[in-house]
Copies of this chain bind each other. A is one copy, B any other.
Amino acid sequence: MFAIGKASQKSGVHIETIRYYEREGLVPKPDRSAAGRHLYTADEIAKLRFVKRCRDLGFPMSIIQTLLSLNDEQGRSCKEVKSMAEDQLVAINAKIESLERLRAALQSLSASCDEGTSSCPMLDSLMSEAPTVPL
C-alpha cells in the first residue's frame, strides 16, 4: 500500500492529476488510512500507469474509460480495442497531414519575407482577401 506521492512516482502521473482522474471518475478513489490518507494498491497503480500510457498515445479520457471497462470485463475485448486503436491511428494521421500542410504554408510565407523591405509580404498576404498561400 502506497501513499499518493509514491503512487505518483510509480505511475508517472502527477499527484494533482491523479486526484483529477478520481474526481472525474476515470479511476476509483482508493481506500484510506486511519488518518484519512488515500492508500494505493499495486493494481490501482497499474491502472494509473495504463491511463498515462493511453494519454501519451493521444487517447482522450472518454476512450480510456471504455478501454478500462473492456479490460475489467475480460472476454472478447481485443477486437474492440483494436478497432479503437485504429480509429486513433486515423485521427493521428489526419493531424500529421494537417500539420504538414501548415508547415508548407508557413515555409512559403516565411521564405517570401526578406529583411530589407519596408512592408512585410507575409503580413500583407495574411491580411489580403485572396491569400498567396493555401491553407
Contacts and interface: CB of A to CB of B under 8 A. Distances in A.
B99 A95 contact: yes
A103 B92 contact: yes
Summarize A's interface: helix, strand, loop or mixed: helix
Interface residues of A, number: 53
A130 to B, nearest CB: 10
Counted per complex, copies of this chain come to 2
Contact of A86 (B110, B115, B123): B110
Interface in A86-135: 86, 88-89, 92-93, 95-96, 99-100, 102-103, 105-107, 109-110, 113-123, 126-129, 131, 135
Contact of A92 (B57, B99, B113): B99
